[in-house]
Every structure is written in C-alpha cells, then in structure tokens.
A and B are shown apart, each in its own frame.
Chain A
Amino acid sequence: MRKVSAFNLVAIAAGIAFLYLPIVVLVIYSFNASRLVAVWGGWSIRWYAELIDDAPLVESALISIRLALTSATASTILGTLAALALVRFGRFRGWLLFAAMIYAPLVMPEVITGLSLLLLFVAVAVDRGFWTVAIAHTTMAMCFVTVIVQSRLVDFDMSLEEAAMDLGASPLRTFLSVTLPLILPAIAAAWMLAFALSLDDLVIASFTTGPGATTLPIRIYSEVRLGVKPEMNAVCSIMVGVVGIAVIAASLLAKLTWARGAPARL
C-alpha cells in the first residue's frame, strides 16, 4: 500500500474543509431560532416545521427531481452514442460539424443556450413547460457526458474488441459484453454529473420554463432575491441530507457489486 505524505494529507484536508465548511455553517444556521440570520437565537426546528406547509416549494422540489432523472438518462444515452461516433468512426462526412456541435455547447454560456432554445420554442410555437426544460437540460448535459465517455474511449484497448469480433461476436454483442462493461464507470460518472447539472441549473430553466414547471432553483432564486430567509437554510439542509444519503447508498451498492465481481475480473 502507498504511504500518504504529509503534504498530500494537508492538501486533501484543506480541500475538503473548504468544500464543506460553508455547508456546515448553513446547516447550523438552519437550526437558528432567530429570524435574523446573523443573530444566534438558540437551537430550534421552527424553519423545518414551516417548510411542510410550503406546498409550492415541495412541488418545485418534485419537479426538479423528475426533471433531473429524465434529462440525465436521456443525455447519458445521447452523449455515449456521440462519444462512440467521435472516437471510433474516424473522419466521416460531416465530422467537423458534429465535433463543433459537441464542443460548442460546452463553450456556450448558459445564458445563450437558454436564450437560443427559448427563441426556438417560440418560433415553433410550442407550449413551454416540463418537457421544454427537459430538452434544454438534455442538450446541455449530453456534451459533458460525451467528453467524459470520450476520454475513457480514447484510452480503450481496441485489441479486446478485435478479439471478440474475431471470435465471431456481432458488433452489438461486442459492444454489450466487452465495450460497455469497460466504459461503464465513465458512463455512471457522466450520469451523475448530468443529474447534478440539471438539479443545479437556474439560468437555462428560467429561459425555457413555462407555467406549472417552476423548478426548485427558480423558486429559491426568487426567494433569495426578495431577501434572506431562514427557511432557505432549512431547505438546503434537507437537500444536503437527502443527497448525502442517496450518494452514500449508491456507492455502497456499487462497492457490493464490485466486491462480487472482482475475483472474476482479476
């Protein structure tokens, strides 16, 4: 086993502290009884109690989760296909345009992506709502997925696939039983990133949303703009809690699967 040097330990500790301290502060403040966020009024759960009655907020949270699940899945499929096409197909006709369309959305600030998609939805006179935001988020996230999966495919040992093909496996079979398992960690990471991007997004959703599809970030932004509210600290703490439990559960599951599959792979 490799030894961890003092320098590395400090770098990791400082990095983790920087990432988590603001969240810890926020969670502590969410239990502050005082309405003034900066004044400590003792421990209390009154802001959590008030959230339960805030039906629009709960509704927004559900919309955001549904949206993230939909767009992460769609963008992972589209992005993986695009990565395969970019890495494997050489310089096909239209390659340049395709590559440009993959990388340009990464360059594209969210404000422009949102603006351009809104103008498209207005031009084709489509009713804006859940599905227009889902399309927008899928388009934005699929390019990130492509970059992640592509980096894995570039390092891919082609002789494994050639061996499977030589032994008579069809292209689909080769992909499913050789390529896919090997790039699966990259695909899973890409899905997670796409999910986070969708859950995070305020700007694109603000442009492309319509009545009845107010996502959680849009609702929170309007609250924060009107002034600091202690309820927001409580919302954040709940999100941190839910997300933390979900991610830890997912990684434990992955570890179990890995432990079972490891002897076969080695």
Chain B
Amino acid sequence: MKQPHGQSFWRQLVLRIPYLWLLAFFLVPFLIVLKISLSETAIAQPPYTPVLDLAAGWHGLAAFFAGLSLDNYVLLGSDPLYLLSYLKSVEIAAFATLLLLVIGYPIAYAIARTPRRWQAVLVLLTVLPFWTSLLIRIYAWMNILQRDGPLNEVLMALSIVKEPPAWLSTDTAIYVGIVYSYLPFMVLPLYATLEKLDESLVEAAADLGCPRWKIFWQVTLPLSSSGMLAGVLLCFIPIVGEFVIPDLLGGSQSPMIGQTIWMEFFGNKDWPAASAVAVVLVCLLVTPIVIYQNQAMRVVEQE
C-alpha cells in the first residue's frame, strides 16, 4: 500500500529516533561487553585496550580475531562459585515472584473493585513509597530487622520467641526486601488488567448460578492472565540480577549473580570475567522475554 507523503515522513521520524537511540546506547554497548568477555584477562585490564583498530586495516581485523579467546567462559564452567551464584539467583527470583503474585493479586483485585474515584488514590498510595530511594527503604528494613529492632521487640513482647532471632544476613531478609520493593511492579499491571475486565461476564456467570470461587477461578483469573504474565516478568527478570537488596540484607556467604558481577568489576577489577558472567546471564534471561514477546504479539494479532 502506498503511503501519502506526509504520513510516511512522520512514520520515519517516529521510528528512527528511538531506533537509533537504542542502537547507540543498548546494542553497541552490549557488543562491546561481548568483545571484552572474549578478551584475555591480562591485556584487557584497565587501561582499556581498543575494541577494534579500524585504522590497521586487514591486519587489525586479523589481530582482532586472533585476540579472541574463550578462557573466561572456561573459567565460569570450572569455578563452582559462578554456577552456585546463578542457581541462587534463579531460586530466589522464582520463589520471590511466586510470593509477590500471591500477595499482589488480592491487593490489585481489591483496588479494581473499589468505587472508581478511590482507585486513583489507592494506586497512588501503592506507588508512593516507590518514589523514595530503594536504598532508604531497604535501610528502613535494616532498622526493623536488626537484632534489637522493633520486630524482635514485638515478637518478644508477644512471647512468640524467647531469644531474638537474627533476621539480617539471611535469605528471609532478602525475601522481605524483595517482596517489599517489587510489590508495585506486580500490583500495577495486575490492576491495569483487572480494572478493564468486563464485569458483565462475571455477572453472567453469577446469574447462571456459578459459585463465587468458581467465577474467580474460571472467569476472572484466566481473563487477567496477561496482567499476571506482565507482573511476573516485570518482577522475576530484574530480581535475578538484583544487587542492592541481597548486598544490604543478605549474608555474604553465597552471593547472587549481580553481586558477583559487581565484585568482579569493582573488587577484582577483572573486566573480562565480569563481562563473561554478564553475557551468560543475558542468555539465561532471553527465554522469559521470548515468551513475553510471543504473548504480546498474540494479543496484538487477536485485536
């Protein structure tokens, strides 16, 4: 189909600007990471070796390919620290996402069922804590969870525990921090879907004598699946690479993968190893994004 001239001009503008931005600041940097991950550790230490010396022509190109090595990836496979780090990250992210879904769904559902003029206020209240720095919110939990902090005082006063348990530097503290920090990411997409849900479908089921739990299970839940998927992915994916929460609330004995990259980069100053860990992590996270993309395309094609 031939486009009118004016329309095609705007089309190009709308497309080209974000396209070029992402090429320059997302794709190119990632290719650089890929290149560094294939470099020898010794020569790629800062100061930085040039990525590709185009001025050297063919010799430069030959030197470029000759310089590539898989040593860093061999290192990842041979050192259990990395494997344990990946496993721990995926385990924590999976369990925390499940917790978030179980906690976030009733909240989103309840907000979507309140009178419309209250919904904006409630959404605002959900997002409001999110505006303050994550660090300070995690720091607030450091206050609460410390040995002689308010949580243990309450537990002792209620005689639930005799000895104050240590919460900090445990996985429990990481879960608390993650659920607290990511709740808006789960509630907002769920709310957006539930708010649009066609209530006449629920009423129709009720009129036909369907019990309330069954309406929820067979009508509401399936209709909100796109919001659930969006919420799950918006939580699971960043949690896998989370750095701040495990660093401040968790213990130091088994780091998550984000901490490992940080350590390799800032601590050991091993840029190639950090890059290799990063590349493998990206490969690991490609699967959920493909699932999401397929789902999004199905939604578009259904319209």
Contact B281 A203 (CB under 8 A): no
For the complex, count residues of B whose C-beta is within 8 A of A: 99
Contact B243 A111 (CB under 8 A): yes
A124 to B261, CA, bound (A): 23
Contact A135 B25 (CB under 8 A): yes
Contact A5 B15 (CB under 8 A): no
A105 to B18, CA, bound (A): 13
Which residues of B are found within 8 Å of A15, using beta-carbon distances? Answer: 103, 106-107, 110, 126, 183, 187
Q: Smallest distance from the beta carbon of A164 to chain B beta carbons, Å?
A: 13
How does the 8 Å CB contact mask read for A30-70 relative to B, with 1 for contact and 0 for none?
Answer: 00000001110000000000000000000000000000000
Q: Is B87 an interface residue (CB 8 A)?
A: no
Q: Is B135 an interface residue (CB 8 A)?
A: yes
Contact A1 B21 (CB under 8 A): no
Q: Which of B258-303 contact A (CB under 8 A)?
A: 258, 261-262, 265, 271, 274-275, 278, 281-282, 285-286, 288-289, 292-293, 296, 299-300, 303
Q: Is A251 an interface residue (CB 8 A)?
A: yes
Q: Is A178 an interface residue (CB 8 A)?
A: no
Contact A120 B32 (CB under 8 A): yes
Contact B22 A101 (CB under 8 A): yes
**Contact among A18, A98, A110 with B22 in the assembled complex (CB-CB below 8 Å):** A98
Stretch of B72-80, B139-147, B155-163 contacting A (4+ beta carbons < 8 Å): B139-147
Which residues of B are found within 8 Å of A154, using beta-carbon distances? Answer: 299-300, 303
Q: Smallest distance from the beta carbon of A137 to chain B beta carbons, Å?
A: 11
Q: Is B223 an interface residue (CB 8 A)?
A: no
Given contacts A4-B115, A244-B128, contact A110 B238 (CB under 8 A): yes
Q: Is A184 an interface residue (CB 8 A)?
A: no
Given contacts A18-B180, A117-B29, contact A104 B139 (CB under 8 A): no
A85 to B18, CA, bound (A): 9
A198 to B142, CA, bound (A): 23
Q: Smallest distance from the beta carbon of B67 to chain A beta carbons, Å?
A: 15
Given contacts A115-B275, A235-B136, contact A11 B26 (CB under 8 A): no
Q: Is A94 an interface residue (CB 8 A)?
A: yes
How does the 8 Å CB contact mask read for A232-255 relative to B, with 1 for contact and 0 for none?
Answer: 110110011001100100010000
A251 to B289, CA, bound (A): 34
Q: Is A139 an interface residue (CB 8 A)?
A: yes
Q: Is A108 an interface residue (CB 8 A)?
A: yes
Q: Is B134 an interface residue (CB 8 A)?
A: yes
A1 to B114, CA, bound (A): 9
Contact B258 A111 (CB under 8 A): yes
> Chain B residue with minimal CB distance to A233?
B143
> Chain A residue with minimal CB distance to B275?
A115
Contact A142 B288 (CB under 8 A): no
Contact B261 A247 (CB under 8 A): no
Q: Smallest distance from the beta carbon of A119 to chain B beta carbons, Å?
A: 5
Which residues of B are found within 8 Å of A232, using beta-carbon distances? Answer: 136, 139
Q: Which of B1-52 contact A (CB under 8 A)?
A: 6-7, 10-11, 14-15, 17-19, 21-23, 25-30, 32-33, 36, 48, 50-51
**Contact among A8, A26, A78 with B136 in the assembled complex (CB-CB below 8 Å):** A26
Q: Is A183 an interface residue (CB 8 A)?
A: no
Contact A251 B124 (CB under 8 A): yes
Contact A171 B180 (CB under 8 A): no
Which residues of A are found within 8 Å of B144, using beta-carbon distances? Answer: 22, 25
Q: Is B165 an interface residue (CB 8 A)?
A: no
Q: Is A256 an interface residue (CB 8 A)?
A: no
Given contacts A81-B14, A107-B282, A239-B136, contact A2 B148 (CB under 8 A): no
Q: Is A16 an interface residue (CB 8 A)?
A: yes
Contact B26 A109 (CB under 8 A): no
Which residues of B are found within 8 Å of A11, using beta-carbon distances? Answer: 106-107, 109-110
**Contact among A120, A220, A247 with B133 in the assembled complex (CB-CB below 8 Å):** A220
Q: Smallest distance from the beta carbon of A215 to chain B beta carbons, Å?
A: 10
A53 to B90, CA, bound (A): 44
Contact B142 A228 (CB under 8 A): yes
Contact B140 A22 (CB under 8 A): yes
Contact A236 B140 (CB under 8 A): yes
Given contacts A81-B17, A110-B238, A112-B33, contact A37 B143 (CB under 8 A): yes
Which residues of B are found within 8 Å of A105, using beta-carbon distances? Answer: 26
Q: What are the 5 tightest A-B residue pairs by CB atom distance, in nearest-first order?
A: A109-B241, A8-B110, A116-B29, A82-B18, A15-B107
Binding site for A on B (CB under 8 A): 6-7, 10-11, 14-15, 17-19, 21-23, 25-30, 32-33, 36, 48, 50-51, 103, 106-107, 109-111, 113-115, 120-122, 124-137, 139-144, 146-150, 180, 183, 187, 189, 192, 196, 230, 233-234, 237-238, 240-244, 248, 257-258, 261-262, 265, 271, 274-275, 278, 281-282, 285-286, 288-289, 292-293, 296, 299-300, 303
Q: What are 9 pairs between A and B in contact, CB < 8 Å?
A: A9-B110, A19-B128, A22-B143, A89-B15, A119-B36, A138-B25, A202-B244, A203-B243, A220-B133
In addition to A101-B23, A116-B278, A239-B133, 17 A-B residue pairs with Cβ atoms within 8 Å of each other are: A8-B109, A19-B128, A25-B140, A79-B18, A89-B15, A97-B27, A98-B19, A106-B289, A107-B282, A109-B261, A115-B265, A119-B275, A151-B189, A175-B10, A232-B136, A239-B136, A243-B131
